[in-house]
Amino acid sequence: MGTRASLEIEGLVKRYSSDVQIGPVSFRVEEGEFFSLLGTSGCGKTTILRCIAGFETPDEGRIILNGERLDTKAPHKRGVGLVFQNLTLFPHLTAAQNIGFGLALRKVPAAEVGRRVEAMLELVGLRGLGARMPNQLSGGQQQRVALARSLVLEPPLMLMDEPLSSLDLKLRLQMREELRQLQRRLHKTTIFVTHDQGEALALSDRIAVLSVGRIEQIGAPAEVYAAPVSCFVADFIGSSNLLASEIVARRGEEVEIVTAAGLRLSARWRANGDARAVTALIRPDAVRLLPEGPDGAQVPNSFAARVVDVTFLGEDIQLRVTVEEKETLLICQKSAGLPKALSPSQSLRIHVEPSDIFLLSR
């Protein structure tokens, strides 16, 4: 078996009871691709991963690795690397012994085990720490050893089940960056399970967004963010304002919509078909603040607004405003660019480019 492979999942179904079911799920992960399964807890992402690793048996469907059936093999013969969510180093073995565990099982000569273990320690940035016991390593170091323990076997496919979620925020961001660097160097075919959209967006070549038991959308991070296919995806990736609306006028691509609360907006209609009921998606960072004055009123989609709530987030400031006393919108602005301090009940003028309003048919 090579050290890289493509994986194909065909119609995978796992039933827990008559009304709880994961799938059918089908997707293909290309050679060397970093593929994320993104969803909330209970959406089935971990189940799919455990089916690939062999710790769950799917009720239907096939898993094919490099053209060979994987799902019929015993879990210990699949040769697929797995990094767990919690820290799973063997507590009675040193870091080096943990990394060498799989090699020793494969009857690799001791000298070669030593050499490959050292190379792995070097790769994950733990040179000289091979003699440490797991309880003498930090959480981040332990997770690196766990990664090395799988990588040393040169698996054709790596599976990662929220490997960063047991780490605290700062370490998580640092490890995320290290994973990215590692992936750039190794180009390992990887399936990465996470509930953290930031992680998925930062690391992945492609993301599969899962809702309850099924895939909503598969696409590159930018595509999933900019062109969500459903309200679920729009709501899940990034924060967004979702306004139930109706199309009242149309001239080619340009449409006029009225939201349920009665706000009239200009937007672009990119899709085919002539649906009337739509959901308007406005990203919080797409809303601009305008200087107040008569000239602002001439710009399309510009409205008088009143601040309801201000949340200071450091780099960003998040505002909740009511627009023309009708709709409530979430706005996100770089705090550095703001002219003056904002406070509740303050009046503003806001503006949304028609092309920044994304319409989804309902």
Partner 1 sequence: MSSQVIYSSSPAERRAAGRAQVAPWVWLAGPYALVLFLFLAIPLCNLVVLSLFRYSATSIWTPELTASNYARILDGFYIALTLRSLWIGAITTALCVVLGYPLAYFLARCSPRALSLGLFLLVLPLMVSTVIRAFGWIILLGREGAINSLLRALGIGEPLGMLYSEGSVIVALVQYVLPLMVLPLMAAIERIPLSLEEAAVNLGSSAATVFRRLIFPLSLPGLVSGILLSFTVSISVVVTPALLGGRKVRMFGNEIYDQVVTANNWPFASSLAVMMILLTFLAIALGLAAGARAGRRR
Minimal distance, residue 297 CB to partner 1, in Å: 55
Task: Give me the least distance between CB of 135 and partner 1, in Å please.
Answer: 10
Taking the complex as a whole, how short is the minimal distance between the CB of residue 150 and partner 1, in angstroms?
Answer: 7
Q: Which residues of 76-102 are buried (b: 16+ CB within 10 A; e: fewer)?
A: eebbbbbbbbebebeeeebbbbbbbbb
Stretch near partner 1 under the rule CB under 8 A, chosen from 1-9, 86-94, 213-221, 302-310: 86-94
Encoded tokens for 221: 């991070």
Burial class (CB in 10 A: 0-12, 13-18, 19+), 256: middle
Measured from the CB of residue 146, what is the shortest distance to partner 1 in angstroms?
Answer: 8
Q: Output 16 or 55, the one with its CB closest to partner 1.
A: 55
Which is closer to partner 1, CB of 37 or CB of 153?
153
Piece in contact with partner 1 (CB under 8 A), picked from 26-34, 87-95, 192-200, 205-213: 87-95
SS3 sequence of 194-223: ECCHHHHHHHCCEEEEEECCEEEEEECHHH
By CB under 8 A, is residue 88 in contact with partner 1? yes
Per-position x/- string for 41-80, each x denoting binding to partner 1 as judged by CB under 8 A, each - no binding: ------------xxx-------------------xxxxxx
Cβ nearer to partner 1, comparing 188 with 349:
188
Query: Interaction with partner 1 in 89-118: which residues (CB under 8 A)?
Result: 90-92, 101-102, 105-106
For residue 64, CA distances in Å to 22, 23, 25, 27, 251 come to 18, 17, 13, 11, 49
How far does CA 241 lie from the centroid of its chain? 19
Which residue from 12, 70, 82, 201 is in contact with partner 1, where contact means CB under 8 A?
82
Q: How far is the CB of 93 from partner 1 (least distance, A)?
A: 9
Could you tell me which stretch among 81-89, 216-224, 287-295, 332-340 binds partner 1 (CB under 8 A)?
81-89
Contact range with partner 1 by CB under 8 A, out of 84-92, 111-119, 192-200, 251-259: 84-92
Among 81, 140, 156, 228, binds partner 1 (CB under 8 A): 81
* Range 116-175, binding partner 1 (CB under 8 A): 133, 146, 149-150, 153
**Cβ 13 vs Cβ 60: under 8 Å:** yes
The site for partner 1, by CB under 8 A, has a size of 26
Shortest Å distance, C-beta 91 to partner 1: 7
Comparing CB distances to partner 1, the nearer of 164 and 237 is 164
Q: Which residues bind partner 1 (CB under 8 A)?
A: 53-55, 75-82, 84, 86, 88, 90-92, 101-102, 105-106, 133, 146, 149-150, 153
